């Protein structure tokens, strides 16, 4: 399924009025993980600016011990500080990487902004080496833009 095919499906999920915000986010994670072959783990982290930590929200994929991540630590923590997309073609080449699973080869993290504030991010791991392109970045920016309307 192409990214343009997925866009209306994301909007359809977000427009459901009978489910909670977390249920919507979980459905988006499931949609992306099942529709894009190289998306192995899809989840949201949300920022607590007082404690300078990220907290795991809805996700689909293998369980993770990384439910709280300090700002600056790992790829997600770096995005919390930089406010910029971070694409990691090969996680083994990253010094500041938190290993979630030995099968993960690459990662992409895109920040989630609400009224100009970075409130979290979408995080995607892949068991494929270097699969992410600019098209993934644009699509995930679209997803986060639509998700931001929930806040």
Which CATH number covers residue 52? 3.30.450.40
pLDDT at residue 43 is higher than 90: yes
Work out the mean pLDDT of the chain and round it to a whole number.
95
8-22 residue pLDDT tens: 999 999 999 999 999
Domain around 73: 3-150
- State residue 117's pLDDT score: 97
The mean pLDDT of 131-136, rounded to a whole number, is: 98
- State residue 69's pLDDT score: 96
Number of domains the chain is built from: 1
- State residue 140's pLDDT score: 98
- State residue 82's pLDDT score: 97
pLDDT at residue 48 is higher than 80: yes
CB 33, CB 42: distance < 8 Å: yes
The mean pLDDT of 104-109, rounded to a whole number, is: 95
pLDDT at residue 99 is higher than 70: no
pLDDT at residue 135 is higher than 90: yes
């Amino acid at each position: 399924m192409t990214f343009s095919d997925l866009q209306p499906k994301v909007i359809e999920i977000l427009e459901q009025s009978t489910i909670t915000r977390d249920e919507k986010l979980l459905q988006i994670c499931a949609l992306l993980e099942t529709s894009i072959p190289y998306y192995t783990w899809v989840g949201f982290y949300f920022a607590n600016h007082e404690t300078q930590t990220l907290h795991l929200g809805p996700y689909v994929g293998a369980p993770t011990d990384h439910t709280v991540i300090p700002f600056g630590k790992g790829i997600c923590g770096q995005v919390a500080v930089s406010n910029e997309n971070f694409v990691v073609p090969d996680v083994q080449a990253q010094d500041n990487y938190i290993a979630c699973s030995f099968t993960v080869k690459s990662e992409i993290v895109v920040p989630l902004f609400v009224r100009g504030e970075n409130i979290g991010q979408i995080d995607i791991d892949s068991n494929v080496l270097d699969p992410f392109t600019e098209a993934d970045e644009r699509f995930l920016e679209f997803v986060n833009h639509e998700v931001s309307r929930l806040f």
